[in-house]
Structure 1
Amino acid sequence: MTRNIRLLISYDGTDFAGWQKQRDHRTVQGVLEEALADLHGSSISLMGAGRTDSGVHATGQVANFHSLNESIGDEKFGAAINARLPRDVRILSSGIASGSFHAKCDARSRQYVYWIANSLLGTAHMSRYAWFLRKLPSLVALNEMARVICGSHDFTTFTASGDASKSRTRSIKHAVFLTRGSMLTFQIDGNAFLWKMVRSLLGTMVDLALNGGDGKEMREILDSRNRNKAGPTAPARGLFLTRVNYE
């Protein structure tokens, strides 16, 4: 009997060329499918909810695969796969899903969190997981700009060249900057995201805030639908896929 197994996955994206399997590159999907093939004795296709870019991390990636293996319990797959994985990828939990469940197609929204640290105060280990800035921008200015991007918009300005999406319209349910001790976090929840969209949005807002910009300027940049109007793209290392929502 075929079972559809759902996985909750975390990974340190530093040494990966992103989620999606690529020839001659180390990817999260590729490493996981190698572990699944070793476990099953045959190739297994894994469907992930979010195609994170090179260097991006996850604490809440969701994926699913179909298994004919009857000797492993639904909730035991995590441990069995972990035994075959490198240290920078971990299965947090496993369980059975409905036969029709698809981690990507059934997702209603995805939540990302980005960490920004003061380079004069940040701890050494955070250099892999945060964007270090010598000066943190105004929280008030940042949240004024974050409110601008909420709702349904054409985000052409904030996608990378080469994005093959037929539509550039995306719906942002929630976007907010918060302080966490000496650090800032940017939390964003949307139905889907264009290639490098989150990092482009963040880099633009930080650049504007550090240079006295406001929500009006952010609105003008968004509405321009001109990639040349966007600011620098924030580095990948501070970005985490933290949650995928299915309800």
Structure 2
Amino acid sequence: MLRYPTTVRTLRNLMENSSPTAAQQKVHFHYNHTDSCKFSRWTSRECYEFMYARPWHKVVDFYADMVKGHTSLSGLFGKETPADHEDAEIREDHEKSELVNIPVKDKSRDKSGRWARANFMIVLSYHGGSFDGWQKQPDLNTVQGLVERSLGEFVDEKKAQLLKDKNLPLEACALVAGRTDKGVSASQQVCSFYTWRKDVKIEDVKAALDKAAPGKIRVVSLTKVSREFHPNFSAKWRHYLYIFPIDDVGEKQGGQIWNDDSTDVHQQNECGKSDVDKSNVNEINDENDKLVHGNKPTKFEVGKVNRLLGQLEGKLLSYKMFARDTKASRNIGPPTECFVFHARAIETSIPCAKDGSHMKTMCIELVANRFLRKMVRVLVATAIREAAAGADDDALLKLMDATCRRATAPPAPPDGLCLVDVGYTDYDIRHCLIP
């Protein structure tokens, strides 16, 4: 009986002695770059504040006008690009569709009955600032949740009864080409749903979606497609555009004046303070990553960003250093490899409908066969950081060999990102906005 307390005390002492001391615990610090411009490179916190200290509300308003059809992305570059999805297009000829050219199996050989169902491809434009991302989540206003509720009236009787028996709401199941984060807009997002009902008309489906949230979501096209079509697995490339405000001449935000070609990294406006991305807190909240007030540059050249991104074109590379929030099983090998078809940056301006003015911006266009979690936003922020520091043109390629993700910058704000299109035919540079 006397040995039990002694044993417990012994185990407790062993546990205390085996626990790591303060010196042994893992210490997070800013990644130690070894190149010649390491003293000019922003820390994570400096980069974060530089990115968020921008008049993002004007970019958000521009995307809102895009969804309403008042403006277009191609209009920013003075061109009309050939699009796979034309506005308000409704097609019934799903067997002859060039967009989804997938061979259909012999229906007589399939005894499961799934060939009797109708599969619909929906191309949507939505305003990211009005939703909490694509993926359906409890008590949040998401695009997927809105779409599935709107399509609930078209599910077949068997599924409707099954949902009723489980006390679940009457909703359809929508698949998507790629889930977008909160704040990310889409010009032509592709999703699909199927039903066994034979009386569903495309016009009715379009009307149900258009009335779900007018001004926030719009049907670009709706097509009846092959049963084998999957918006994600059938896609051959994804097309993104990031609009980054360079300046806001003559207007004050939060008491600060936005200057030509630059913004001080320590300035913040109201938009920057309210739109803090909580997912980046771990990357910038370290004691060893405090702001360093020195002679670090606060300007960057758009041409330099273009040269940095250009080094990625036509290469199959592992972008694990530019990914965030990925599972450990996807951090090595092919799951992190992406082939970038097109990566360009150009200076342009976007219209501000509220006051009739224009704001100078940098547009970054990326087209790849796939993108990892937050990869586009990290690439944008890192390219701007490296351009400001005066790094070599192959700086992004060198970062591929890093062993710590702190070598790359925190993700840029989601407000500037837009999913332009998803392609189901071979990549063609004519679909790009920036030549």
TM-score bracket, normalised by the shorter chain, equals 0.7 to 0.9
Which residue, out of 245, 267, 271, partners 1:117? 245
CA positional deviation for 1:133: 6.2
Q: Secondary structure at the match of 1:115?
A: strand
Q: What does 1:1-247 correspond to in 2, within 5 Å?
A: 2-40=117-155, 42-85=170-213, 87-121=215-249, 134=263, 137-150=300-313, 151-163=315-327, 166=330, 167-181=335-349, 182-247=360-425
Residues 109-131 of structure 1 deviation map (CA, whole Å, 9 limit, x = unaligned): 1000000122324999xxxxxxx
The answer (yes or no) to whether the contact 1:39–1:81 under 8 Å persists in 2 is no
Residues 174-204 of structure 1 deviation map (CA, whole Å, 9 limit, x = unaligned): 1101222322110001111111000000000
Residues 4-57 of structure 1 deviation map (CA, whole Å, 9 limit, x = unaligned): 011010111113221111223221111110111145464310000011111111
Mapped partners of 2:243, 2:329: distance in 1: 27
Partner of 2:277: none
Which deviates more from structure 2 when the two are superposed, residues 187-196 or residues 81-90? Answer: 81-90
Q: Taking structure 1 as reference, are residues 123 and 108 closer, same or farther at Cα in structure 2, changes over 3 Å only? A: farther
Mapped partners of 1:196, 1:105: distance in 2: 19
Which deviates more from structure 2 when the two are superposed, residues 34-43 or residues 231-240? Answer: 34-43
Q: Taking structure 1 as reference, are residues 82 and 13 closer, same or farther at Cα in structure 2, changes over 3 Å only? A: same
Q: Taking structure 1 as reference, are residues 163 and 63 closer, same or farther at Cα in structure 2, changes over 3 Å only? A: same
Which deviates more from structure 2 when the two are superposed, residues 207-216 or residues 52-61? Answer: 207-216
Mapped partners of 1:148, 1:226: distance in 2: 21
Could you say which structure has the larger radius of gyration?
2
Mapped partners of 1:81, 1:137: distance in 2: 43
CA positional deviation for 1:98: 0.5
Partner of 2:164: none
Mapped partners of 2:208, 2:117: distance in 1: 18
| Bigger proportion of residues as strand | 1
Mapped partners of 2:249, 2:236: distance in 1: 37
Which deviates more from structure 2 when the two are superposed, residues 138-147 or residues 199-208? Answer: 138-147
Which amino acid in the other structure matches residue 157 of structure 1? M
Mapped partners of 1:136, 1:98: distance in 2: 51
The answer (yes or no) to whether the contact 2:322–2:405 under 8 Å persists in 1 is yes
CA positional deviation for 1:79: 2.1
Q: Secondary structure at the match of 1:198?
A: helix
Mapped partners of 1:123, 1:219: distance in 2: 38
The answer (yes or no) to whether the contact 1:144–1:214 under 8 Å persists in 2 is no
CA positional deviation for 1:108: 0.6
TM-score by length of 2: 0.51
Q: Identity across aligned pairs (percent)?
A: 29
Which amino acid in the other structure matches residue 123 of structure 2? L
User: What stretches of structure 1 of length at least 5 have no aligned partner?
Assistant: 125-131
Mapped partners of 1:226, 1:215: distance in 2: 21
The answer (yes or no) to whether the contact 2:188–2:420 under 8 Å persists in 1 is yes
Q: Taking structure 1 as reference, are residues 77 and 165 closer, same or farther at Cα in structure 2, changes over 3 Å only? A: farther
* Root mean square deviation of aligned Cα: 2.4
The answer (yes or no) to whether the contact 2:262–2:300 under 8 Å persists in 1 is no
Q: Taking structure 1 as reference, are residues 21 and 204 closer, same or farther at Cα in structure 2, changes over 3 Å only? A: same
